[in-house]
Amino acid sequence: MKCSYKVLLAAAIAGWLAAPAALANCRLPSAPSKIPDGATASEQQMITAMQTIKEYNRDVQTYLKCLDFEVRQNRLSPNNQVSLHNAALSKLEEIATEFNHQVKIFKSKHS
């Protein structure tokens, strides 16, 4: 009896550890680490930040498509997909909002 309990426990632990591996192809992209201060940034710094944020947006869209694929393959539950999807979009919105705020500051400084 103890042997089958150990086997079941080992199988449960292995399944739990393998669950994140099912999402190995879906990697949430890293958000840009720094948004330039619009009051002190150069035009080139603002342009570079804009390009970085556009790339981040594309990466997030790719991530969301990957989550959709994982659900269709039954490797991710719809509830988990919604949670991961919303978290990714929330972070993207946070970054975009901060960048847009800094752009307004930059434009007011240079107009």
Tell me the average confidence (pLDDT) per consecutive run of 10 residues in the chain, 111 residues long: 51 48 75 97 98 98 97 95 97 98 96 83
- The whole-number pLDDT of residue 25 equals 78
66 within 8 A of 25, measured Cβ to Cβ: yes
- The whole-number pLDDT of residue 79 equals 96
- The whole-number pLDDT of residue 16 equals 46
The residues, ordered by sequence, that sit 6+ positions from 109 with a Cβ below 8 Å of its Cβ are 38, 39
- The whole-number pLDDT of residue 17 equals 43
| Domain ranges for the chain | 27-109
- The whole-number pLDDT of residue 24 equals 52
What gap in Å lies between CA 87 and CA 83, rounded to an integer?
A: 6
Q: For the whole model, what pTM was predicted?
A: 0.76
